[in-house]
Structure 1
Amino acid sequence: MRARLTLLLAGTAVAVLVALVVPLGLLIRTLAAERAVADADAQLRALVPVVAAGAPAAAELALAGTGRPVTLYLPDGTTAGAPAPVTTAVRLAQRGRSRTVSSSAGREVVVAAGTPSGTAVLRTLVPPAELTSGVGRAWLLLGVLGVLLVGLAVLAANGFARALSRPLTAASAAAHRLAGGDLAARATPAGPPEVREVATSLNRLADRIRALLDAERERVADLSHRLRTPLTALRLEAESLPAELGDAVAARVDALDRAVTGLIQDARRRGAGPGSCDAAAVVAARVDFWSALAEDTGRPLRRDLAAGPLPVALSADTLAAALDALLGNVFAHTPNRAACAVALAARAGGGAALTVTDDGPGLPADAAARGASGGDSTGLGLDIARQAAAAAGGALRLGRGPRGGAAVLLTLGPPA
């Protein structure tokens, strides 16, 4: 935008200067020619009294003193001064008509002078060099002046364009920061009123987005908190069960309670950055948790976990929720005895790669769509994992496992 404004304003200035300089240059050339012709005509008219006196010797002397080639045509047909042919202008002047005639040789100036014996004619020729004397120097000065004015116009246009584009660039940078998740980004209103209005509107939009997100987080936290009441009831029910069964149920309730607590905490700290954790420790703990359920359902659960520490740019609760969502999909959508596997490996350059595979029927075609599910579920499990990977600077990829089942790869970047 800045370059276009500069070019537009500079082009306008150049057009105005050309419209002024070209006619001025032509006017200077015309004035120079008219001045040269007027000087020649004045010299010839100054000789008229001498010629009219009828003194040939005095006329010869006066012709030599003009400093230019002047020819005197006498009434008897003789000539004096510089030799020159009799032209049409001379013949007309012999009838009493003084005039100036243009020709390829320059401007021919003829003046009629009355003498006792008839009409004499004074003639001189103003050459092109004299007609354009001083014009080249004047044009050079005009050209230099025009270049200086164009340079000043370009500088002024660039300054104006910079003053106009700087606040727009700042507003654009703030908009990009907002799009990247920086809700604290604000634009400083500056520049023309319209540009200031854009920056002010962008700031109001950012405030509104932040208020809506804060309200949404609180609603999520409130909904999660409501789950504590049925959890408390389940814990009381577990206490009335036989010891071994009660302990197992209580452990499951405690795990669910921790998950709800993590959900509340995660909802309230959204926007404060993805955090960090040791992926090896988190994944190992969650695999241990799911191993008990896998054993109850007769499902082989293989594990291939890299030794820690394996730092990633994701909080422990978020990583645990992502892995729980993936394993929850496996347990929900594959037969009880279908094997599954969890692999965790370090990535070159930092971070980790988490892979969950199963021996089930594989993923449906629309599995990547949020909320899409071919079974009796919300269809949000893969989206939870995808958001976790994106928050850690990674990605989620879907494919097929070595035995034809589903394979989900979660890449996680290292902490900043």
Structure 2
Amino acid sequence: MRRWLALVMTATTSLVLVALLVPLGLLIGTVAENAAVDRATDTAESVAAAVSALPPGELALTVEQVAASGGYPLTVFLPDGDVLGQAAPRSDAVRLASLGRSVTARAPGGTEVLVSVQSPSLGAVVVRVFVSEADLDRGVREAWLGLLVLGLALTALGIAVADRLARRVTTSITALAGVSHRLAAGDLTARASPEGPPEVRSVAAALNHLAGRIDELLAAEREAVADLSHRLRTPLTGLRLNAEALADPEEAAQIGARADELEQAVTSIINTTRRRAPAPRSCDATSVVTDRVRFWSVLAEDQNRLMDLDLPGEPLPVAVAPGELTACVDALLGNVFAHTPEGVPFGVRLTSGSQGGVLLVVTDAGPGFETELLERGSSGGDSTGLGLDIARRTAESSGGSLNVRAATGGGAVVEVSLGPPARP
């Protein structure tokens, strides 16, 4: 665009300068020619006045003096054929002037100014002043050169101004293109700066509005997915418990496996959808854990499970996205309901950890499990074994760790260490 605008400005400026400077140059040439002819006419008229007033003997000396001071070749044609001053041919214009008419005519190499005068003693005398082409064009070339330099300077100035304006426009458009590429790459925080001409600023505002709208739609999608997770996990857990209560072990295992496959599919869809847009990498662990405990308390009450809660009253920030911490807590509490009999109590404790982190501890009084269950896909029953893997990956993504051990007196203890958010 910068090159295109520069070419347009060059063409426009050139046309304007040609339309202005060419007539001006022609006018300068005409003025210079008229000035030279006027000076020659003044010289010829001064000699004509001398012819009328001086006697023939003094006329030759006067002609020589005027020719020396005037700077132009001077010739006086007498009626008897004699010539005073510089020798010159008796042209048709001279013969016409001898009839009593003063004329200006073109001659080889220049212009001759002829003044006819009637001398009382000599008769019809013709005074001729010759103006060469060099005298007619004196100063014209210099003027044309000055106009050419002026035209080039104005053209260069116009190109510089056009390039500056074009750079301002193209810089803003390039920035808009960069923001659009960042949005296409998934960076929904990218925003355009309203710079440049009003039209470009309008496009930037529209792009920012579009980016904000996309962010809102994806946030709504994530909320819908989270709601779907909340709605499906409790029925799936209840279905798994009902399957385990069936008298036929084979049928119970088959239904439990189908429930696990469905939960795995739902979890995969939820995680995939959450990864479509970047979520904030920090949240308040107190708020998230409290909300998830409140959600699972309904099922705990239905199964007559006692909950031992130790949750702080102040915010505890962690370097985990809200959705990831929600999935982690749901996975740990879901394991309690899935792998312990009804009525078995459990506990949830959230405290400040070392170096500004947070420690989440989930305990139960069930049969416990082996540490090899930390491997993805391993389970003590017929489940998919994804719960502890989700908790482990959540902890490690924040710079923490997962620890599973047996509780004193029976049961299991799952300790999730979560790192603090990065300082700005």
Q: Does the pair score TM above 0.5? A: yes
What SS does the corresponding residue of 2:278 show, helix, strand or coil? coil
Q: Deviations over 1:33-71 (max 9, x none)?
A: 111111111111111121112523322122222133211
Q: For 1:40-55, what aligned pairs fall within 5 Å after superposition? A: 40-55=40-55
Alignment-derived partner of residue 33 in structure 2: 33
Alignment-derived partner of residue 157 in structure 2: 152
CA contact (8 A) 1:10 1:157 kept: no
Alignment-derived partner of residue 253 in structure 1: 259
Task: Give me the whole-angstrom Cα distance separating, in 1, the residues matched to 2:156 and 2:57.
Answer: 62
Q: Which amino acid aligns with 1:10?
A: T
Task: Give me the whole-angstrom Cα distance separating, in 2, the residues matched to 1:62 and 1:212.
Answer: 106
Q: Which amino acid aligns with 1:118?
A: G
Q: Deviations over 1:209-238 (max 9, x none)?
A: 221122123223333443324412321222
Alignment-derived partner of residue 131 in structure 1: 136
Q: Deviations over 1:219-269 (max 9, x none)?
A: 233334433244123212222234853456545534543443343344334
Give the counterpart of 1:81 among 60, 82, 85.
85
Q: Which amino acid aligns with 2:200?
A: V
What SS does the corresponding residue of 1:123 show, helix, strand or coil? strand
What SS does the corresponding residue of 1:119 show, helix, strand or coil? strand
Q: Deviations over 1:277-323 (max 9, x none)?
A: xxxxxxx967x99xx9xxxxxxxxxxxxxxxxxxxxxxx99xxxxxx
Task: Give me the whole-angstrom Cα distance separating, in 1, the residues matched to 2:20 and 2:260.
Answer: 89
CA contact (8 A) 1:48 1:113 kept: yes
TM-score (normalised: structure 2): 0.60
Are residue 222 (structure 1) and residue 227 (structure 2) matched?
Answer: yes
CA contact (8 A) 2:78 2:124 kept: yes
Bigger drift between 212-221 and 201-210 goes to 212-221
What SS does the corresponding residue of 2:210 show, helix, strand or coil? helix
CA contact (8 A) 1:224 1:263 kept: no
Alignment-derived partner of residue 114 in structure 1: 118
> Quick check: which has more Rg, 1 or 2?
2
TM-score (normalised: structure 1): 0.62
Task: Give me the whole-angstrom Cα distance separating, in 2, the residues matched to 1:144 and 1:233.
Answer: 92
Deviation at 1:165, TM superposition (A): 2.4
Alignment-derived partner of residue 343 in structure 2: none
Task: Give me the whole-angstrom Cα distance separating, in 2, the residues matched to 1:151 and 1:180.
Answer: 42
Give the counterpart of 2:273 among 267, 271, 276.
267
Task: Give me the whole-angstrom Cα distance separating, in 2, the residues matched to 1:216 and 1:141.
Answer: 71
Q: For 1:279-298, what aligned pairs fall within 5 Å after superposition? A: none
| Structure 1: unaligned runs, 5 residues or longer | 276-283, 293-315, 318-416
CA contact (8 A) 2:243 2:255 kept: yes
Q: Which amino acid aligns with 1:62?
A: T
Q: For 1:15-414, what aligned pairs fall within 5 Å after superposition? A: 15-65=15-65, 66-67=67-68, 68-116=72-120, 117-242=122-247, 244-245=249-250, 246=252, 249-250=255-256, 253-254=259-260, 256-272=262-278
Task: Give me the whole-angstrom Cα distance separating, in 2, the residues matched to 1:157 and 1:104.
Answer: 50
Deviation at 1:162, TM superposition (A): 1.5
- Percent identity, aligned pairs only, is 47
CA contact (8 A) 1:108 1:126 kept: yes
| Structure 2: unaligned runs, 5 residues or longer | 282-374, 383-392, 395-424
Deviation at 1:98, TM superposition (A): 0.9
Q: Deviations over 1:158-204 (max 9, x none)?
A: 11211222222222222222223222221111222222111111111
What SS does the corresponding residue of 1:227 show, helix, strand or coil? helix
CA contact (8 A) 1:99 1:111 kept: yes
Sort the Cα spacing of 1:238 and 1:194 in 2 relative to 1 into closer, same or farther, 3 A: same
Q: Deviations over 1:136-178 (max 9, x none)?
A: 2222222222222222111111112112222222222222222
What SS does the corresponding residue of 2:116 show, helix, strand or coil? strand
Task: Give me the whole-angstrom Cα distance separating, in 2, the residues matched to 1:104 and 1:72.
Answer: 19
Are residue 2 (structure 1) and residue 2 (structure 2) matched?
Answer: yes
Q: Deviations over 1:315-366 (max 9, x none)?
A: x99xxxxxxxxxxxxxxxxxxxxxxxxxxxxxxxxxxxxxxxxxxxxxxxxx
Task: Give me the whole-angstrom Cα distance separating, in 1, the residues matched to 2:262 and 2:188.
Answer: 32
Q: Which amino acid aligns with 1:107?
A: T
How much is the aligned-residue C-alpha RMSD, in angstroms? 3.0
Q: Deviations over 1:344-390 (max 9, x none)?
A: xxxxxxxxxxxxxxxxxxxxxxxxxxxxxxxxxxxxxxxxxxxxxxx
Alignment-derived partner of residue 399 in structure 2: none
CA contact (8 A) 1:110 1:122 kept: yes
Deviation at 1:115, TM superposition (A): 0.4
Task: Give me the whole-angstrom Cα distance separating, in 2, the residues matched to 1:63 and 1:183.
Answer: 97
